[in-house]
Copies of this chain bind each other. A is one copy, B any other.
Amino acid sequence: MNIELRHLRYFVAVAEELHFGHAAERLRISQPPLSHQIQMLETQIGARLLARTNRSVALTPAGQQFLVDARQILSLVDDAASRAARLHQGRSGELKIGFTSSAPFIKTVSESLSTFRRLYPDVKILMREMNTREQITPLSEGELELGLMRNTKLPDNLEWRQILREPLRALVHRLHPLAGCTSISLTQLSREPFVFFDSRVGTGLYEDILGLLQRHNISPYITQEVGEAMTIISLVSAGLGVSILPASFQRVRLSDVVWLPIEEPDARSELWLVWARHRELSQQAIKIIDLLSESSVCLQSTD
């Protein structure tokens, strides 16, 4: 036989009532099995806990100590159970999300994240900036639970959902000849000095935008290779060339930069939410997937 929580519950009841009959009543059982269980507990422990004559029940010193311990253990069990439940329900715990640098510029994303923080303040959101390529392995291995990335070819152990489909826009300096157009065609950019990502950075946008240009048989004249979208915008602002970026970057308003719609209909980029197919998603993850999906329904394109 082993000590069970039942024994502790029974013992605490008797210790509090100091009367087997009343304790049994409180426990909704009859008195004899209660006496029996207490005896079992005492032999199991190897100590008399309750000094009982047929007329009175009192705690022995060992019983006094054990009462304290038993109460603590019982409340720890409750705590452990509710802590596990909170974690399961996604009301606490942590959520590891990888994201491409462009993600936080997107209203949908930043709003969903702040809504999540407000709704579940006890969930630690761990955001790690990683480019599309870097996220694949951690997602497969469970190191990251969710990834925010640009549309790309994924291994089939990863599942994805489109969060946002937004137009690509051309950026030119205010004094550039094209700045006055209401929209432009990609060919009009072909001979312009092009500010763009270094291929080694691994941004999804690199393949995305270069793919677009290749589909239209344009090989851009890349003069500046940088690491971050912000740098692209500031170099355009400084008049060092033109570029193409998703419309959501328009939120970054630097002086002297003009954003122009592109006429080609495939000048679009998608933001994807990605997770491991066979790995069970946490409630935390499910909740943020829901939040991001919801808001992306309302707002398919951001300006």
Q: A residues engaging B (CB < 8 A)?
A: 2-6, 8-9, 44-49, 51, 53, 60-63, 65-66, 69-70, 72-73, 76-77, 79-81, 83-85, 87-89, 93-94, 278-280, 282
Contact = CB atoms under 8 A, between A and B. Distances in A.
A15 to B, nearest CB: 12
B5 A3 contact: yes
A2 B46 CA distance: 25
11 contacts: A46-B81, A47-B89, A49-B84, A53-B278, A62-B84, A65-B80, A65-B84, A66-B83, A69-B84, A73-B76, A73-B80
A80 to B, nearest CB: 3
Contact of A62 (B8, B69, B70, B85): B85
Contact of A87 (B61, B76, B77, B79): B61
A67 B153 CA distance: 38
A171 to B, nearest CB: 43
Given A2-B5, A3-B77, A83 B69 contact: yes
A240 B63 CA distance: 55
A45 B85 contact: yes
Contacts of A5: 2-5
Given A3-B77, A66-B80, A79-B69, A88 B278 contact: no
- How many copies of the polypeptide does the oligomer hold? 2
Contacts of A81: 3, 44-46, 66
Contacts of A87: 47, 60-62, 65
Contact of A65 (B72, B73, B83, B280): B83
Contact of A2 (B6, B62, B79, B93): B6
A76 B84 contact: no
A53 B8 CA distance: 35
Given A47-B84, A53-B278, A282-B61, A76 B66 contact: no
Of A44, A73, A79, A278, most B-chain CB atoms within 10 Å: A73
A47 B81 CA distance: 8
Given A2-B5, A4-B5, A6-B4, A84 B72 contact: no
